Structure 1
């Protein structure tokens, strides 16, 4: 496979509802989509959603690296087999030595476009390509959790009722500075979903160490099974202290503090978490996420699949592939599709079904090679604000 051309689309999609947490409130999503075309006129697509408060990247910084560094060097590159692709991904930061390990959205968007194109060119799904290369046996389906934003009681109640109708039995609640409000939402979740609902909490860096020590025993006593990113990523040294204080009463999950492979190494070596939240865009693609998963597994740390708010079906499919390959994620998030987006870039958006089930059979269909998403040109053009080459 030889690369003929690359282009970048800066995109925007409105939401059907406002999504809020401690760090941000969103009514739309700005994203980046890489289009990679081969000499055989096969087009692969890769997506990334830069978040400055997560990886330090912005739309502008990622755009600059892709247009000025990645695209010029990749034009004309040849990949004769999957080993060539994997070598390129494993040595990405050596090939593009002006980048750092925190240029993660840059790698994610590039990698997904390359894998999508290579899979389509060779009539294979990315799931099958990666499972063969890694020696893994993928799962057939996964079960998604519902996520409830930090909103008014009326909105929270509406969201919970929708999840109850869908048969969702796992919920993640966004929490923050108002513990009394958070406790009411926990009680409301059990009232609407049922007393056996499995509840997690995500503070999105809202607390300091003292607040975390005060709040988490209360949440644990109420049956909350995990707390995600309770403290800022800049308070990394406080995470081992919190783990020692809690002594396993509740899972401590890191998200914003877990971006690069270096972040994973530090948390493992210092005992800063019991659960890793993996997201394709913020972790630098499938290859990095698989490496972090392997590191976590060998050190007794659990993992869950996370998602960027506002992902299209491209990133949702990549997330499903990661979950299928890893096999034993504790929880799964994402695939909201048009539950959140006003439209997607495909006529058949990926979204969880009844009971939160995410079916993976589409990845083995003849017309679903690569990432398994048939991108519709008109929908892609609709969300595109600007095209750069």
Structure 2
């Protein structure tokens, strides 16, 4: 049933950089996978980030190339939509590729192709996970405003129209130096309605002593995201107990096992769920459901500079489920002035809301602009091995 698989890398310059405490990104770097069934193609994306999962772009390409699509095809029940989806959901860890970003690219491409071949939206995949009735929702979803490290908090917020400020449900402020974090939080709180929550994201740059020293000044924060080095379970638990700070995990939490460890050690109140770091659409959804069951709050996040299939798949989770404390939509409209997808990336910046995408699969396809910045590295066809592109 799988007629062809192509591997691409996409490197797209960003119109503006995005900075946080440990990195500055000036170009998108994604792995793209195209899977063709009988006359229908699906696209998937992974965003390898060494500081999150230890993956590199080249390594993710090799991870996909080490798998035999023919063996994968034999595991899929192609007779019905439900059968194909159930088969993908039942694949064991590592079946698609080793490494979460590589697996995400393969999984999203495969689900996109299956959905398109049956004329079904990606949302129709989610019932395979049997989510609780209270999780399912419908309608527009509010998204966060994210202020990165190089941006001045007062300048960003003062430039917004009053109705936009009033509509904001959540603002995330990237922070570096702990003493500056207190000031940036105070600047945000002074300009936002009381009901608008504010979080700080330290990207693992603080020490326990740093966080304890400034804890009193962080009382206005709904939570602090990844304050310490990833997987500092004991130190995070100590920090929460000593200061009362609410902690969200990001780099520390990529699997359901990480969620269990966080709960068992008392290390976190919330987790940031991102599709690429979690291994794909279904993997991220499973992690969110597990966190929800354990009483841990969930943020649906994005990796900086997702070029299309990733943010589109995330948009499905954002608009179909209501368990999210906050939702991030990304800023592809600002980073890539020439659209990378058809239809174009869209966020209502006046109300900070997004709507569900329409159409089969993820609802998007690469534009000519995105394809112009891609490089095809290898192709697989039945009865053959992977062939490197000329």
Instruction: Using structure 1 for the length normalisation, give the TM-score.
Output: 0.87
Change (3 A) 1:128 1:108: same
The CA distance in 2 between the partners of 1:307 and 1:22, in whole Å, is 17
1:314-333 → structure 2 map (5 Å cutoff): 314-333=309-328
2:84 and 2:114 in contact (8 A); partners too: no
- Stretch of structure 1 that moved more, 62-71 or 201-210: 62-71
User: 1:318-370 CA deviation, whole Å, 9 max, x = no partner?
Assistant: 1122223431211111242212234332143223202111111x33xxxx100
Cα distance in 2 for residues equivalent to 1:164 and 1:22: 28
Q: How many residues align?
A: 370
| Post-superposition offset of 1:163 | 4.7
Equivalence map 1:363-378=2 (5 Å):
363=358, 368-376=359-367, 378=368
Of stretches 129-138 and 19-28 in structure 1, the one that deviates more from structure 2 is: 129-138
Verify: 1:224 aligned to 2:221, yes or no. Answer: yes
RMSD across aligned positions (CA): 2.3
CA distance in structure 1 between the aligned counterparts of 2:216 and 2:68, rounded to whole angstroms: 47
Residue ranges of structure 1 left out of the alignment (5+ in a row) = none
> Larger helix proportion, structure 1 or 2?
1
Residue 283 of structure 1 corresponds to which residue in structure 2? 278
SS in 2 for 1:69: coil
Going from structure 1 to structure 2, the CA distance change for 1:133 and 1:219 (only over 3 Å counts) comes to closer
| Cα distance in structure 1, aligned partners of 2:114 and 2:239 | 44
Which of 45, 48, 67 is the equivalent residue of 2:46? 48
Shift of 1:16: 1.8
Q: Deviations over 1:25-77 (max 9, x none)?
A: 11111111110001x22110001110011011111111101112254644676
CA separation of 1:374 and 1:386: change in aligned 2, threshold 3 A: closer
2: CA distance, partners of 1:374 / 1:325:
20
Partners of 1:15 and 1:28 within 8 A in 2: yes
Change (3 A) 1:158 1:385: farther
Long gaps (5+) in structure 2 = 380-390
Supply the distance in 1 between the matched residues of 2:71 and 2:90 (Cα, whole angstroms).
16
CA contact (8 A) 1:12 1:29 kept: yes
Task: Call closer, same or farther: CA 1:347–1:298 in 2, change over 3 Å.
Answer: closer
After TM superposition, give the deviation of residue 271 of structure 1 in Å.
Answer: 1.8
Report how far residue 212 of structure 1 moved: 1.6
The alpha-carbon deviation at position 174 of structure 1 amounts to: 0.5
Q: Over residues 192-237 of structure 1, what are the superposed CA-to-partner deviations in whole Å (9 max), with x where a residue is unaligned?
A: 55565421100000111111222233111xx111100000115233
TM-score, normalisation: structure 2: 0.87
CA–CA distance in structure 2, aligned partners of residues 195 and 43 of structure 1: 47
1:198 maps to 2:204 = no
Q: SS state of the match for residue 17, structure 1?
A: strand
**Structure 2 Cα separation of the partners of residues 138 and 70 of structure 1:** 38
Distance 1:62 1:74 in 2: 18
State the distance in 1 between where 2:162 and 2:342 align: 24
